[in-house]
Amino acid sequence: MAKVNSIHSGEKTESDPTWERVKDCLLGLKDGGSASVDADDDTWHIAEFGYLVTGHGEGELDYFTLIERSLDDDPVTAFDGGDTNEYPRYTFVSQPVMLGALATFYATGQRDNKFEWVPAEEAVY
């Protein structure tokens, strides 16, 4: 049984979404759009760069950001939730990395340790 109990996107909330519905919502995000997959995991899509995924697993107090280190750490400027920030490029992960990490979160409510995560405060300049 899935651990995810809802997904929020824009003004819309869906309860008990299937994994296919979660994937469709995430892949349908437009530049600057955001979605929140409960239990406390957030993802933002910045079309030019990739996906910014932050959150925590059940029982964790601190937030972590999924990174794809091979993308380098050059600074990029992105609009995130009303703020313009500079991020290391590696914080905007590719679609396969985002989907892999979110598939595990969907099924277990935990961060997938096959991927690299850093404390959220280390993922913004």
What pLDDT sits at residue 81? 61
Q: For the chain (length 125 residues), average pLDDT per consecutive 10?
A: 72 83 83 70 65 86 94 85 82 92 88 94 88
- State residue 112's pLDDT score: 92
> CB–CB of 21/14 below 8 Å?
yes
Sign of CA dihedral 95, 96, 101, 106: positive
Token pair, residue 8, equals 């929020």
Q: Give pLDDT, residue 5.
A: 75
What is the residue-wise DSSP string for 90-122? GGSB-HHHHHHHHHHHHHHSS--TTSEEEEGGG
Cβ atoms of residues 28 and 39 within 8 Å: no
Domain-wise residue ranges, the chain = 6-123
pLDDT at 115: 96
* Dist CA 87 CA 92 (whole Å): 8
| Helix or strand run (H / E) with residue 58 | none
User: pTM of the full predicted structure?
Assistant: 0.77
Give residue 50's pLDDT: 86
